[in-house]
Structure 1
Amino acid sequence: MDAPIASLYLISVGALAMCSFQAALLARSSSYVRACWVFAVICFTFALFQYANLRQQLAPDLAAAIAAHKWVNLFSLLLVPQIWYLIAALDDRKRAFFLSYFVAGVTLFLVADNFVSPFGYRFASLAAEAPCKLPWGEQAFLLAGETTPAYTVNRLLSLGAALYAAAFCIRVRRERARFSNRVVWLSVALIVVTTAMGGATDAGRLQLPYLSGFGFLCLAASYLLLVRREAARSMTEKIRISAALEREVESHKLSSLRFEHALTNDALTRLPNRAGALEKLHAMFIQSESNLTRMAVLLLDLDRLAIINGTRGYEAGNQLLVEVAQRLRQDCSKGGLVARLGSARFVVGIAGHKTVAGIEREVEEILAAVKPPFSVPGTVLNMTFSAGVAVYPDHAASAEDLLASAALALHQARDAGPGNLRVFHPSLQQTLSERIGLENELKGALEKEQFVLHYQPQICAASGRVVCMEALIRWHHPSLGLVMPDKFIPLAEATGAIAAIGSWVIDAACRQLASWRENGFIDIRVAVNLSAQQLLLSDLGDTVQAALQRAGLQGADLELEITESVLMQDPQRSIERLEALRRLGVRLSIDDFGTGYSSLGYLKLLPVHAFKLDRSFVRDIGKSAKDLEICATAVGLARNLGLEIVAEGVEDASQAAQLRKLGCHLLQGYYFARPLAVYAATDFLANERRVA
């Protein structure tokens, strides 16, 4: 073992084993995982090949040398399919692995032949039986002799592997791949040379040990160097990508925060909106529970904001809302809540009080803060607020219920008139429960066909004939009976069901008119009331047109009634929507005229055909000179604007006579008929025709 050749072989065995270990480690971080593992196996096989060569050369006798030579043959045979597989792992073509499997199959036969043959698969006979002397003086068993056909087959497979490797290297060099390195090319050339020298040794033309293992050692070192460099580049790229991703995540977080802020805050007043208010109320609720304190919700509704928008413009209205928000924010206690829930509605959360008296004092302070006049461009406004209060734990057990209870109290305050304050009390709880129950049942009422239409006739004041049947929706509730629209229409608007219900009403009214036309009632039309949300729907025109087409009607056969206060909320937008409906030929009228606030300038621009005089003016027309004068003024206004006027709420002959005398065009009320079910309305029309 002191011979130089033995030391070199042992060093190569250790180096190749180390290369195998390094290749296995690099497989974790390299993008060429399979190739690195195969290369690790090849390095280990070459290490065994070198060790078997050492055992052969230092064998004590020929028999031991032949036995060691068979192991040399085994490892050299195994290297050929492994090299094929390595190149296939680096290649991206599907047939590459198929060729490596074929080579592996041939190698199995050669391995079997190697251990069956007396001298191994290489030699049919040996040319020398004694150890030979190497050029530098050492003695070693180097076998040579007549080669076998199996040896030729293996040489061809090795040559094929060399050609395959060369072709692959040329291709990747053209593609400027990272493994097309000069060191790799030199190592491959060295392996080819040392392998050829091994063939010369087998034939007896040279007396040298097998040196291909040393040639591969150079290739292994250069390959691992390149893979390590590739891994370093990959790690650097991963670090760069990771840093970029972290920056992107931070940017996304900031964008999400901005988006969440926009979702939970009001753009005009910079206060939380409904979603933000509920989040804050939940936090305040939890804190009140843990501290055993009371909390309250104060809802404030700015009275007559629509009037300010109509007379002073929306800029003044917005400025007013901003000033209200500032006053509430300044007066609110630290940690409290101030939010804007809707157009003119604000919510103030009050917390940290042990007694109701403390809450009452803070409510009074808040109301006092918003009582002084507000300065807007060009004027000073004295505004009033309707307010509702609910207290935890007296009135609700959750943040949502507390807000709902305050809303009920606010509704009661608004019913009492502008500037009133109401506190939730237990009697409203039943109303709250009924509301929740109705909301849940309302969702399926349309699918269950629980809605019906009743019809109230409009009579021509001059001829006494029916000219229009107004469709009035009713909810045929399975347990409550017939529910009036004032009970469920606000719920439908709040839950978003009004669009579907409104579409059904228009369609059902058109179908009923078509049925009456088939029965000979050809001189009448139908009228349908539109809710505030319906007028704002972008597809209202399509809904109306589709209903008319399905029923085979013309636009003039349908009249749509819009509440005056709805029109005045956004006159310009209302004009645009009404113009689109009028282009369909649909008749348009203003309902409840005189109960809200109308700008006569806008009234002149509204593309309507008629307006309905509210029943509150008709009711006392025979008793109040003021009401009579109002009706006369309304009739004169309609005549001057070229509009029809409909008087609703006519309950006796005296009212009808006075309205005819004033020149009112159409009359409607209990004096002529109450709202009638379809069959009763049909009978009413039939009776009128018989009388005529």
Structure 2
Amino acid sequence: MDTPIASLYLISVGALAMCAFQAALLARSSSYVRACWTFAVICLTFALFQLSNVRQLAAPDLAVAVTAHKWVNFFSLLLIPQIWYLLASLDARKWSFRLAYAVGCVTAWLLFENFVAPYGYRFSVLTVDVPGELWWGERAFLLAGETTPAYAINRLLSLGAAVYAAIFCIRARSERVRFSNRLVWLSVVLIIVTTALGGATDAGMLQLPFLSGFGFLFLAASYLLLVRREATQRLTDKIRISAALEREMESHKRASLRFEHALSNDALTRLPNRVGALDLLHRMFVKSESNLTRMGVLLLDLDRLAIINGTRGYEAGNQLLVEVAQRLRDHCGKRMLVARLGSARFVVGIAGHKTWAGIESEVEGILSAAKAPFSIPGTVLNMTFSAGVAVYPDHASSAEDLLASAGLALHQARDAGPGNLRVFHPSLQQSLNERIGLETELKEALEKEQFVLHYQPQVCAATERVVCMEALIRWHHPTLGLVMPDKFIPLAEATGAIAAIGSWVIDAACRQMSNWRENGFTDLRVAVNLSAQQLLVSDLGEAVQSALQRAGLQGGDLELEITESVLMQDPQRSIERLEALRALGVRLSIDDFGTGYSSLGYLKLLPVHAFKLDRSFVRDIGRSAKDLEICATAVGLARNLGLELVAEGVEDAMQAAQLRKLGCHLLQGYYFARPLAAYAATDFLANGRKVA
């Protein structure tokens, strides 16, 4: 076995064994697991085929050569169904596996013939039975003779496998790397050529050993290269997909963090929202509970934000909210919780104080910091806050209950009017229930015609003749009786019903004024109070003009009263709306003058005809020199500005005389008449007083 040809065969045996090992390894990472294992078996079978060839070529006599030849036949027969099965595994069609099994059955018969025939299944008679000389001079046992029908059948099966492989390669060409396909084609051609040479040797036409094993070795290398490239690509794809999944997971994690942040934080002000506030309040509560300290919750509601949104636009309203948030954040710092609960409502959590006095001091500081005017593009706004306070452990035993208690206090503060502060009290729950019931009934009151107007006269100070009747709304509640406006007007403003109610008041007052005109009271006008929403939000001009036209009145027959605090909320917008109303001929007056902190420079810009001196200055005019001086100053101011001055709250003759002496133009109060129903006001005009 130390001849060159034997050494070459033995080398191929080792190479084929290594190919079998490589195919088995690739089976674990390749998508063609069955094909790889089948290929490993084929490689081992070819290795044994090559080893049997060595034994035949180096046989010392004919008997040993025939025995080795039968083993050559045995392994060559095994290769045919294995190759068919490999092709079926790659093709993955049901009929291809059935065909491979049929080839296996035929091969089983051929194997039987191989061991029962004297010379194997190839030859019936040997024509060459001695060692021959190869063309390069080496001697080897090469058997030749007359072939059997079984041999022809095996050749047909081999040819069928070659054709099947060619068809499969053509179909798979578009799915394979071009270089790898060329190698496979070349390998198939080599196997066909070497198999044909083997047939020529069997027929005695050539003196060559079987070379098909070497052709398959080239195919094995090509196939392993193809599979290895495919496995490498799969590994690369796996790494790429893993990296992409890792990036996606990281992106999803960041998105989740952003989502969680969005769930617990307000996008506009960048403060915690209700969800975040509750979580932080709960932590503060636990800490206060363990430290045996008090914890306060302050709820702040920015009054009349809807008016700013309606008159200045939502961008201005948002800018205002951002400035409020920044102001609270700057004042409270990290020692307190600042959050926005929604719309115009903010919450401040105050902790670490042993007494109520400490919390009260903090609340006063917060309200003071938020009180200054706010500058937004185009104007300066004087805003007020309604506030509610609740304290642990006095008012609640949990963070949620503490926030709810502060909310009840805030409701009471809003009912009292803009800019009020209330501290929680257990009785507030009952008051809130009553308020909720009243809100529900208020929405139906206009439809059920439960509102009525009462009228209070304004008289000329010099002649005591009635020159104006101020319309004052009342609610005839079915169970509560006559409800005064201070009880339900704040509810109407809070629920948005004030615009409809205000329009009804103007219309009803104009109708009554028309009736008085028909009754002969020609030199008389009617006055109506306006709310902030009516002045700054609703289409007031259209409502006033329509009411006047329906009643057949002129603009001068109607006077509109606006409180000073309403005008100061948005001075520039107020001036614009007042000028539009004055263009209709309507008289305008400032109600409750002296309570809104307006400057004289601002007052002279207002297009009004009169202002009403607040009753708080008139009440003690006979007992307080200071109030008397204030009234005198107001009269002088009105005279200098060319405005009428109306003194309200006149309750006795002494007050009337002093105001008349000071030069006040008009007087109004219980001294002359209480607010009267429409029929009583008509009788008053007809019988009680002269009409100017």
8 Å CA contact 1:198, 1:210 repeated in 2 = yes
Aligned position for 1:163: 163
Amino acid at match of 2:147: T
**Counterparts in 2 of 1:290 and 1:137: CA distance versus 1, 3 Å:** farther
Amino acid at match of 1:602: D
Compare 150-159 and 255-264 and name the one that shifted more: 255-264
Alignment of 1:600-611 (within 5 A): 602-603=539-540, 605=542
**Counterparts in 2 of 1:314 and 1:210: CA distance versus 1, 3 Å:** closer
Post-superposition shift, 1:197? Answer: 1.9
Aligned position for 1:77: 77
Partners of 2:133 and 2:4 in 1: CA distance:
14
Post-superposition shift, 1:172? Answer: 3.8
Instruction: Work out whether 1:564 is the aligned partner of 2:501.
Output: no
1:519-556 deviation digits (Å, cap 9, x = unpaired): xxxxxxxxxx9x97xxxxxxxxxxxxxxxxxxxxxxxx
Post-superposition shift, 1:160? Answer: 1.0
8 Å CA contact 1:122, 1:147 repeated in 2 = yes
**Counterparts in 2 of 1:118 and 1:426: CA distance versus 1, 3 Å:** farther
8 Å CA contact 1:310, 1:599 repeated in 2 = no
SS in 2 for 1:599: helix
Partners of 2:75 and 2:310 in 1: CA distance:
98
Instruction: Work out whether 1:147 is the aligned partner of 2:147.
Output: yes
**Counterparts in 2 of 1:422 and 1:181: CA distance versus 1, 3 Å:** same
Aligned position for 1:384: 384
Partners of 1:20 and 1:76 in 2: CA distance:
17
Instruction: Work out whether 1:201 is the aligned partner of 2:137.
Output: no
8 Å CA contact 2:129, 2:144 repeated in 1 = no
Amino acid at match of 2:204: G
8 Å CA contact 1:77, 1:111 repeated in 2 = yes
Amino acid at match of 2:211: L
Aligned position for 1:297: 297
SS in 1 for 2:183: helix
8 Å CA contact 1:169, 1:180 repeated in 2 = no
Post-superposition shift, 1:16? Answer: 1.1
Aligned position for 1:337: 337
Amino acid at match of 1:123: F
8 Å CA contact 2:21, 2:40 repeated in 1 = yes
**Counterparts in 2 of 1:285 and 1:165: CA distance versus 1, 3 Å:** farther
8 Å CA contact 2:131, 2:141 repeated in 1 = yes
Alignment of 1:456-535 (within 5 A): none
**Counterparts in 2 of 1:183 and 1:300: CA distance versus 1, 3 Å:** same
Compare 59-68 and 210-219 and name the one that shifted more: 59-68
Amino acid at match of 2:539: Y
Aligned position for 2:3: 3
8 Å CA contact 2:180, 2:222 repeated in 1 = no
**Counterparts in 2 of 1:457 and 1:170: CA distance versus 1, 3 Å:** closer
8 Å CA contact 1:293, 1:352 repeated in 2 = yes
**Counterparts in 2 of 1:91 and 1:376: CA distance versus 1, 3 Å:** same
TM-score (norm 1): 0.58
8 Å CA contact 1:65, 1:141 repeated in 2 = yes
**Counterparts in 2 of 1:207 and 1:594: CA distance versus 1, 3 Å:** same
Aligned position for 1:410: 410
Aligned position for 1:597: 533
Post-superposition shift, 1:108? Answer: 3.5
SS in 2 for 1:268: coil
Partners of 1:608 and 1:369 in 2: CA distance:
43
Aligned position for 1:46: 46
**CA radius of gyration, larger in:** 2
Partners of 1:360 and 1:116 in 2: CA distance:
114
**Counterparts in 2 of 1:162 and 1:274: CA distance versus 1, 3 Å:** same
Aligned alpha-carbon RMSD (Å): 4.8
**Counterparts in 2 of 1:253 and 1:372: CA distance versus 1, 3 Å:** same
Amino acid at match of 1:387: A
Post-superposition shift, 1:369? Answer: 1.6
**Counterparts in 2 of 1:32 and 1:282: CA distance versus 1, 3 Å:** farther
Aligned position for 2:229: 229
Partners of 1:67 and 1:287 in 2: CA distance:
96
8 Å CA contact 1:565, 1:597 repeated in 2 = yes
**Counterparts in 2 of 1:163 and 1:296: CA distance versus 1, 3 Å:** farther
Aligned position for 1:18: 18
Instruction: Work out whether 1:36 is the aligned partner of 2:14.
Output: no
Unpaired segments ≥5 residues, structure 2: 437-443, 453-491, 503-528, 548-580, 585-675, 685-692
Aligned position for 1:187: 187
Partners of 2:394 and 2:123 in 1: CA distance:
105
Partners of 2:357 and 2:124 in 1: CA distance:
115
Partners of 2:284 and 2:247 in 1: CA distance:
35
Aligned position for 2:466: none
8 Å CA contact 2:445, 2:451 repeated in 1 = no
Post-superposition shift, 1:159? Answer: 0.4
Partners of 1:47 and 1:397 in 2: CA distance:
87
Amino acid at match of 2:364: E
Amino acid at match of 2:81: P
Aligned length: 487
SS in 2 for 1:370: helix
Partners of 1:288 and 1:140 in 2: CA distance:
103
Aligned position for 1:556: none
